[in-house]
Amino acid sequence: MKPVIFGLSGPILTNEELRLFRDVEPAGYILFKRNIENRLQLLALTDSIRALHGREDVPILIDQEGGRVARMRSPEWPDFPAGGAFDALYDLAPLTAIEAARNNAEAIALTLAEVGINVDCLPVLDVRVPDTHSAIGDRALGSDPMRVAALGQAILDGLAAGGVIGVVKHMPGQGRSVVDTHHDLPHVYASEEELEQDLEPFRTLNKAPMGMTGHVVYDIWDDQNTATMSPYVIGHIIRKNIGFDGLLMSDDLDMNALTGDVPTRAANCVAAGLDLALNCWGRFDEMVAIAERLPEITDAARARLDRAMTGSNMKFDADRLAFLLDKRDRLLALADTDAKLTHGATGAA
């Protein structure tokens, strides 16, 4: 098995992909909009991946956060709100917000389970600060680490209730990034004391099954390498300081925050201590080159992968999904109602 998660080129596995994946046995796969047409097609695709490897526990990932980050969209699937909706409700009623976040995550999990997807790259645990780039923006669960951790735990619990594995991201915290890592390299110049705020949600949720690093340079820790490529950030900050011993993967290695060709990036992040490299775009020649550059997965990484996937128990219940969506909407409506009442009272004054 190679320590990599690959994307696919389209809505079905091509003959080239079938041969490559059978020979290489990547650790998992990630799906995007280009891979998705409808329920029947998507279930057939995930079934074909499992049949290729003869395993039910092959990790099949997706970014289904809600809001602007959602690969499965209406009208085929329900719409889901971004994390900021639960942050707003938390201002009014923390326990209600936690319940709404849990219900929403379980509903997401059920929609994924129906089509054979067992890992969701959620929750986002980046703590928002005044300068947080819009690339994170309303994806964040708030600016208070305790709130972010509480809502993040609710999301992990909701996903697990639907038999789907969550991935905490972007370790060790991308909230201070002032540029979009898809296009530029962010440097964070905060002090150790300031960065404690960023670490706190990840430390609180350090028993999460999977985590994802961000492509950010934290100058106080390693002014030469992004977290994804830094042995110090991976080994000392994430593994020791945060205490995270789950499966650790990179963010997409095709982002412009990184330099060098993608196969070199994949080899470097695994050499730095990540369990898995994440290559999202499904470019065949690139995947071949990555497979050639990567060693076999380490025993420690394989053990973390196997341990994480024991939580995958996908099941679909249409009645439960309808109940969860209705309950979530009624809870989130409390924030809208309060805003209208407050606005009305201000206007009357």
Global pTM reads: 0.94
Q: What is the 3 state secondary structure string of 227-241?
A: HHHCHHHHHHHHHHH
The predicted structure's pLDDT at residue 348: 40
The whole-number pLDDT of residue 274 equals 98
How many domains does the chain contain in total?
1
- Catalytic residue check, 53: no
Phi then psi dihedrals of residue 28, to 5 deg = -175, -175
Ranges under pLDDT 70 in the chain: 179-180, 183-184, 337-349
pLDDT of residue 25: 97
**Domain with 212 in it: what CATH number?**
3.20.20.300
Distance of alpha carbon 60 from its chain centroid, rounded? 12
Which residues lie closer than 8 Å to 183 by C-beta, 6 or more apart? 255, 256, 257
Helix (H, G, I), strand (E, B) or coil at 244: coil
Q: What is the pLDDT of residue 344?
A: 52
pLDDT above 90 covers a percentage of the chain that reads: 85
Cross-strand bridge partners of residue 168: 211
Confidence at residue 258, expressed as pLDDT on a 0 to 100 scale: 84
- Whole domain around residue 172: which residue ranges? 2-348
Catalytic residue among 182, 219, 317, 343: 182
For residue 136, what pLDDT is reported? 85
Q: Is 251 a catalytic residue?
A: yes
Helices of type H across 115-256:
145-161, 192-204, 231-232
Identity at 129, one-letter amino acid code: V
The catalytically annotated residue of 63, 87, 120, 251 is 251
pLDDT (0 to 100) of residue 346: 44
Closest by CA position to 148, among listed 134, 169, 166? 169
